[in-house]
Structure 1
Amino acid sequence: MLDKSIPYYNVIMKRPKGTALPQFELPDGYSFERYTSGMEVKWAAIEASVGEFENNEESLTYFKKEYLPYSNELKDRLLFVLNKEGEPVGTITGWWNLTGERRDLSIHWFAVSKEYQGLGIGKALVSECIRNLLHLEGDKDVYLHTQTWSYIAIALYLKTGFNMEEKETFANYQNDYEQALPILQGLLNNRS
């Protein structure tokens, strides 16, 4: 869930190539599944449920515009976690962004439904996404854009080898490191 009670600042994170990938397992009875046609509805519901979009319709519209044109890529890059009943409860996308002419690997739209947070699903999902990106693209730097509102996810990203970037950025994202750091230090220290 996003914590919109704190100030919003952009955070850029990078997982440098060559970084060891810690192994995080899903809880018993949970499994990974790759995107198949029609799962965009589940993606939209998960993303809206954690506050990334106002509602399912808005998130589904975004998905159709930004990702459906790349349906062949989605089958390899969009991952879900299924609960014991086979329902999607988490999602993450291993994608790319262009920075000028440079193609940067990046993580997009990581979310775990609220009632399934705190079970270790998120760490396993991020770890599996990175493993999948390395398989598809080779050992390269992986970026992500997040925000102070997602400080719980930032703590998780740090555990999977990402670092906050002071100056560097990718795509067209703004990097608000200097403004974000004081906020995040207090929040992340309380989580350790």
Structure 2
Amino acid sequence: MSVLDRDIPYRNVLMVIPKRRVEKEIPLKKGYSYIPYEDALFEPWCQLQYACNLFDSLEEAKRCLSRFLEKDRAFFEDNFLFVVDEERTLVASAGLWPGHHFEEERLRVHYVAVLEQAQHQGIARAMLSKLCVHYDSIPSRYPLYLATQS
């Protein structure tokens, strides 16, 4: 599947890493690189998320990102990844953000998206490994989890 299939009925699915399992970061393939967040990425991030069908509209994606930045911009900048290609086009993003699926707030992997034309290049795998290694540097405790849907 290249984008979220909204024809499948929604069922919340939690994927849990109960303890530290990722020992090292998997590098991105040649031609892709990480860049830090800057305001010029606002629109491309929203377009990426919408293109992957993670939001019903571009406006909904913009409202979500605006809320993230208003709530804690520094945390967002420190905990979200942005992958660009050689033309510096945003092709993927993923991050750590608080979730409420357990008794208390804890970090989760959130908004993993890779443009269809950049899929099957190991980008999501590289981002997830980088986020797991980063999670281990944050004073937090397991489990780390990802909330997805059927």
TM-score normalised to the size of structure 2? Answer: 0.86
Aligned AA (1:129)? L
The equivalent of 1:18 in structure 2 is 20
The alignment status of 1:7 with 2:17, answered yes or no, reads no
Count of residues paired in the alignment: 147
TM-score normalised to the size of structure 1? Answer: 0.69
The equivalent of 2:29 in structure 1 is 27
The Cα RMSD (Å) is 1.9
Aligned AA (1:96)? P
Offset of 1:24 from its aligned partner?
Answer: 2.7
SS at match of 1:145: strand
Distance of aligned partners of 1:62 and 1:18 in 2 relative to their CA distance in 1, 3 Å threshold: closer
Aligned AA (2:119)? Q
Offset of 1:40 from its aligned partner?
Answer: 2.1
Deviations for 1:67-98, whole angstroms, at most 9, x for unmatched residues? 43211111201111111111211000112224
Equivalent residues in 2 for 1:61-140, closer than 5 Å: 61-98=63-100, 99-100=102-103, 102-137=104-139, 140=142
CA contact (8 A) 1:94 1:130 kept: no
SS at match of 2:53: coil
Q: Which structure: greater helix fraction?
A: 1
CA contact (8 A) 2:22 2:129 kept: no
Offset of 1:55 from its aligned partner?
Answer: 2.7
The equivalent of 2:59 in structure 1 is 57
CA contact (8 A) 2:22 2:132 kept: no
CA contact (8 A) 1:94 1:132 kept: no
Structure 1 gaps of 5+ residues are 149-192
Equivalent residues in 2 for 1:168-179, closer than 5 Å: none
Identical counterparts, % of pairs = 27
SS at match of 2:135: helix
Distance of aligned partners of 1:53 and 1:103 in 2 relative to their CA distance in 1, 3 Å threshold: closer
- Of 90-99 and 123-132, deviating more is 90-99
Aligned AA (1:81)? V
Distance of aligned partners of 1:68 and 1:120 in 2 relative to their CA distance in 1, 3 Å threshold: same
SS at match of 1:65: helix
Determine the C-alpha separation between the residues in 1 that align with 2:139 and 2:37. Answer: 18
Determine the C-alpha separation between the residues in 1 that align with 2:60 and 2:9. Answer: 24
Offset of 1:138 from its aligned partner?
Answer: 5.2
SS at match of 2:39: coil
